[in-house]
């Protein structure tokens, strides 16, 4: 039986294959065996620090390992994923997977929701769930498209025979949106790497009419001082500097030696849990439920995502002389919206952010971190609706 919200617009030209997540039992059995066989590091001063000042503790890793074996069930995650309409389609020789809620309204606004690393389409399922609880296909004011980026989860790629960068991802997802019938215009939303893809879309692709993000990575704009910043903004800048100083070692490894770390983390699910689990602990406001962490790590493991998904980090090493968000070539000359969460990796001041685009929407939240769609789905959903309601009538009226 067809799922609700599963009918693409009549203007879609893409050849779409309905998709259901189904991991073979043999692969699940192998994962269980590898978890049981995986060795843990011997006790050290560093791995006994429960405050994680040197990374995840042995106590946490043992607890999560036991939960992984005894109480977490991938089948529950798989069943939840499969309650949402999913498709795959071929673009530039890549198989692109996406989750979509399609509206039957002629005036529905297409929204492209872009995840990052170590995220996936799973981050946006809580928001999609809220939309489908609130609306029917006949009343939904939006089309919501959540692609798995090339190299992530159920999408193939990146290509093996050539380099592939943020601009390439943007081109592929723009082609996806056009093939779904949204060449006349759509709004892009992104966090983490998704925010960089959204910026490329806003600058380089005409069909992307507006951009909303929840993080911008940048240095202090020239000519600005800290004199005008309030206490919370000063704290946000300090948080960014602390992240750069003590929390970005993973990014240097993934950017300079992606092959090495890819092999390391493809060899052991416990190693993958430690590497990715740390981010789900450190980059959030309130702690995530253990099952939320385990389902993301399990999805990465079962789809062999990690080695295929870290290619975007290479663009940062050696560091560009001018971060892309500071580069005037990447200024967004379209409606630009921003949602600020205090425990983001770089919760930067509005005065900085507005130097990177035509900022027309800003919302400051009291709680939330890097995984905003997962941590604060109601707040991000509300912001996105407000932003679209504010900018879309003008976009349509101008055409």
Contact 87, 18 (CB under 8 A): yes
Helix (H, G, I), strand (E, B) or coil at 4: coil
Tracing tokens 């929840």 back to the chain, one arrives at 214
Query: Which DSSP string corresponds to 292-359?
Result: HHHHHHHHHHHTTHHHHH-GGGGGGSSPPSS-TTTSGGG-EEEEEEEEE-TBSSS---HHHHTTSEEE
Contact 356, 105 (CB under 8 A): no
Contact 332, 211 (CB under 8 A): yes
Is 313 annotated in the active site?
Answer: yes
Say which of 174, 192, 285, 383 is annotated catalytic.
192
Say which of 115, 143, 365, 370 is annotated catalytic.
370
Contact 63, 287 (CB under 8 A): no
Tracing tokens 């992240």 back to the chain, one arrives at 243
63 backbone dihedrals φ, ψ, rounded to 5°:
-60, -45
Q: How far apart are CA 159 and CA 147, in angstroms?
A: 17
Tracing tokens 């893809």 back to the chain, one arrives at 197
Say which of 186, 205, 313, 383 is annotated catalytic.
313
Quote the crossing angle between the two packed helices 58-70 and 269-282, to the nearest 10°.
110
Is 226 annotated in the active site?
Answer: no
Which of 389-396's residues contact partners 24+ apart within 8 Å by CB, and which partners?
390/335, 390/337, 390/360, 390/361, 391/187, 391/209, 391/210, 391/335, 391/337, 391/360, 391/361, 392/109, 392/187, 392/209, 392/210, 394/335, 395/185, 395/209, 395/210, 395/335, 396/185
Is 192 annotated in the active site?
Answer: yes
Residue 20 DSSP class = -
Positions marked active-site: 192, 313, 370
């Amino acid at each position: 039986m067809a799922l609700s919200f599963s009918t693409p617009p009549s203007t879609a030209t893409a050849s779409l294959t309905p998709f259901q997540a189904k991991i073979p039992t043999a692969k699940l059995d192998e994962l269980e065996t590898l978890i049981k066989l995986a060795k843990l590091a011997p006790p050290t001063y560093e791995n006994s620090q429960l405050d994680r000042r040197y990374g995840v503790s042995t106590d946490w890793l043992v607890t999560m390992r036991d939960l992984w074996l005894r109480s977490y069930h991938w089948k529950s995650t798989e069943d939840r994923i499969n309650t949402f309409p999913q498709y795959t389609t071929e673009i530039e020789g890549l198989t692109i997977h996406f989750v979509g809620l399609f509206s039957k309204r002629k005036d529905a606004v297409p929204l492209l929701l872009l995840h990052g690393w170590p995220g996936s389409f799973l981050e946006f399922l809580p928001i999609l769930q809220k939309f489908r609880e609130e609306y029917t296909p006949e009343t939904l004011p939006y089309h919501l498209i959540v692609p798995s980026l090339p190299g992530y989860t159920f999408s193939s790629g990146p290509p093996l025979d050539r380099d592939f960068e943020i601009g390439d991802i943007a081109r592929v997802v723009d082609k996806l949106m056009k093939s779904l019938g949204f060449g006349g215009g759509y709004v892009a939303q992104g966090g983490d790497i998704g925010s960089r893809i959204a910026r490329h879309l806003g600058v380089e692709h005409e069909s992307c009419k507006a951009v909303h993000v929840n993080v911008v990575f940048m240095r202090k704009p020239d000519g600005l001082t800290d004199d005008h910043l309030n206490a919370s903004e000063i704290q946000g800048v300090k948080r960014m500097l602390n992240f750069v100083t003590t929390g970005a070692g993973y990014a240097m490894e993934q950017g300079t030696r992606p092959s090495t770390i890819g092999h390391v983390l493809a060899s052991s699910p416990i190693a993958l849990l430690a590497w990715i689990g740390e981010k789900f602990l450190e980059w959030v406001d309130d702690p995530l439920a253990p099952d939320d962490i385990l389902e993301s790590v399990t999805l990465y493991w079962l789809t062999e995502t990690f080695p295929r998904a870290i290619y975007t980090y290479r663009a940062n090493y050696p560091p560009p002389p001018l971060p892309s968000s500071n580069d005037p070539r990447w200024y967004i000359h379209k409606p630009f919206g921003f949602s600020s969460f205090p425990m983001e990796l770089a919760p930067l001041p509005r005065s900085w952010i507005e130097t990177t685009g035509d900022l027309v929407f800003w919302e400051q939240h009291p709680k939330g971190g890097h995984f905003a769609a997962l941590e604060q789905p109601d707040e991000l959903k509300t912001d996105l609706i407000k932003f679209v309601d504010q900018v879309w009538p003008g976009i349509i009226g101008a055409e």
